Structure 1
Amino acid sequence: MRDLSAEHALAMPATTVESRTLPVLGHETWVQVTTPTDPRPGALPLVVLHGGPGMAHDYVANLAALAAETGRTVVHYDQLGCGRSTHLPDAPPGYWTPQLFVDEFHAVLAGLGIERCHVLGQSWGGMLGAEIAVRGPASLVSLAICNSPASMSLWVEGAAQLRAELPADVRDALDRHEAAGTTTDPEYLAATQVFYARHVCRTTPVHPDFAATEAQLEADPTVYHTMNGPNEFHVVGTLRDWSIVDRLPAIAVPTLVVAGEFDEATPATWAPFVERIPDVTSHVFPGASHCSHLEQPEEFRAVVAAFLARHDDTAGESR
Structure 2
Amino acid sequence: MKIKLLLSVLLTIVLFSGCKESKPVNSVKDNYLDFSQRDDQFTGGIKMIPISTPVGEFKVWTKRVGNNPKIKVLLLHGGPGGTHEFFESFDGYFPQESIEYIYYDQLGSYYSDQPNDNRLWTTERFVEEVEQVRKALKLDNTNFYLLGQSWGGILAMEYALKYQKNLKGLIISNMMASAPAYNKYAEEVLGPKLDPKVFTQIKEFEKNKDYSNPKYMELLLNHYYTEHILRFPVAEWPESINRAFKHLNPNVYVYMQGPSEFGITGDATLKDWDITAKLKTLTVPTLSIGAQYDTMDPKHMEWIANEVQNGRFLYCPNGSHCSQYDDQEHYFPGVIQFLKDVDNGTFKKAKS
Q: What's the counterpart of residue 6 of structure 1?
A: none
Q: 2:137 aligns with which of 100, 112, 131?
A: 112
Is 1:267 the counterpart of 2:292? The answer is no
Identify which of 113, 126, 132 aligns with 1:101. 126
The answer to whether the aligner puts 1:247 opposite 2:278 as a matched pair is: yes
Deviation at 1:280, TM superposition (A): 0.8
What do the CA deviations read for 1:117-158 (whole angstroms, capped 9, x no partner)? 011111111111111111243220111111101100011011
Which runs of no fewer than 5 residues in structure 1 stay unpaired?
A: 1-11
Structure 1 residue 281: Cα displacement: 1.0
Quote the residue 2:20 is aligned against.
none
Q: Secondary structure at the match of 1:222?
A: helix
User: 1:209 is matched with which residue?
Assistant: 240
Question: Structure 1 runs of 4+ off > 3 angstroms?
Answer: 12-17, 64-67
Q: Which moved more, 1:203-212 or 1:12-21?
A: 12-21
**What is the alpha-carbon distance in structure 2 between the residues aligned to residue 30 and residue 72 of structure 1?**
20
**Alignment map for 1:115-130 (pairs within 5 Å):** 115-116=140-141, 117-130=144-157
Structure 2 counterpart SS, 1:62 = helix
- Aligned-residue identity in percent: 27
Q: Report if aligned partners of 1:251, 1:277 keep a CA contact under 8 Å in 2.
A: yes
Distance 2:92 2:139 in 1: 20
Alignment match of 1:276 (pick from 307, 311, 332): 307
Among 237, 241, 257, the alignment partner of 2:288 is: 257
Shift of 1:310: 0.7
Quick one: distance in 1 between partners of 2:260 and 2:123?
19
Alignment CA distance shift 1:67-1:270 (3 Å): closer
**Counterpart amino acid of residue 262 in structure 2:** F
Q: Which has the higher contact order (CA 8 A, sep 6+)?
A: 1
Unaligned runs of 5+ in 2: 1-29, 36-43, 347-352
2:162 match: secondary structure: coil
TM-score, with length taken from structure 1: 0.87
Give the CA deviation at 1:71.
1.6
Q: Rate the CA distance shift 1:125–1:152 in 2: closer, same or farther, 3 A.
A: same
Aligned to 1:192: 220
Q: Is the CA contact (8 Å cut-off) linking 1:258 and 1:284 kept in structure 2?
A: yes
Q: Tell me the alpha carbon deviations over residues 83-111 of structure 1, each in whole angstroms, 9 at most, x when there is no partner.
A: 2011123x13x431111111111111111
Which residue of 261, 286, 300 maps to 1:232? 261
**Aligned positions of 1:1-319 closer than 5 A:** 15=33, 17-25=44-52, 26-36=57-67, 39=68, 43-89=70-116, 91-92=117-118, 94-116=119-141, 117-160=144-187, 161-193=189-221, 194-204=223-233, 205-217=236-248, 220-235=249-264, 236=266, 237-314=268-345
Give the AA of the match of 1:200.
I
**How many residue pairs were aligned?**
296
- What's the C-alpha RMSD, in Å, of the aligned pairs? 2.0
**Higher mean Cα deviation, 237-246 or 205-214?**
205-214
Give the letter for the 1:148 counterpart: M
Which segment is superposed worse, 64-73 or 17-26? 64-73
Q: Is the 8 A contact 2:182 2:263 kept in 1?
A: no
